[in-house]
Amino acid sequence: MRTNKWRLFMLGILIFLTGTAFQTISATEKLNTTQLDSAMAYPFELKDRNGKLIRMSDFKGKVVVIDFWINRCAPCLALSEPLAKIRKYYESNKDVVFIDINLDDDVDVWKNCLDHGDVLKDRTYYYTDSLSISLSTAPKGFYHPITSYYNMKGVPRWIIIGKEGEILERNPPRPLPEKNGIESAGSLRFKALINEYLLSSSKKAKVR
């Protein structure tokens, strides 16, 4: 009887310590996030589908378009085609990098969506493609510190980062689908933001 009570007591202590450790880790993450320069991109370290660790710092000197999404997000899927065309537009421009970050908490769900797409109105859509670097925040999912850093309330969401890691746009225009073969105003403005920055940074480089 005493042995059982002792085991229950020790189990209670273990649960308490585990909970305390989790709270400490969460508090540390929040503290580190608030200490970051809010004008700069979040210094993420995330894995691609092959387990390779990818860092924000890997892309210094590039304009980076970060695209956040989740599985079964109808608005995300509806914008997959205009986003694919924008990526294609910059395919030969080595100064522009596209990164899509999945916010599901299950790696298998993310990989399945990459491989098999998702269905919207009886049609299969692939949210991303080979022109984008695909990363995941699993197992934290939407509760990863990157979402609070960018004050995200939902998806789809895009962040445009400059060559020195500075945040250029937190809420760029939404690139909507074409109508009657005419590119949407949102898509045109989206590209214009990137092009204007590329032009201005090129002029600065020549002055130096």
Distance of CA 198 to the CA centre of its chain: 22
What whole-number distance in Å separates Cα of residue 191 and Cα of residue 88? 12
In sequence order, the 6+-apart residues with CB closer than 8 A to the CB of 48 are 54, 133, 134, 135, 136
pLDDT of 201 reads 81
What whole-number distance in Å separates Cα of residue 207 and Cα of residue 202? 9
Residue ranges of the chain with per-residue pLDDT less than 70:
1-35, 203-208
pLDDT of 11 reads 42
pLDDT of 206 reads 57
pLDDT of 20 reads 36
For strands 157-161 and 63-69, give the pairing.
antiparallel
| φ, ψ for residue 84, nearest 5 deg | -65, -40
pLDDT of 175 reads 94
pLDDT of 200 reads 86
Chain length of the chain: 208
pLDDT of 8 reads 45
What whole-number distance in Å separates Cα of residue 208 and Cα of residue 206? 5
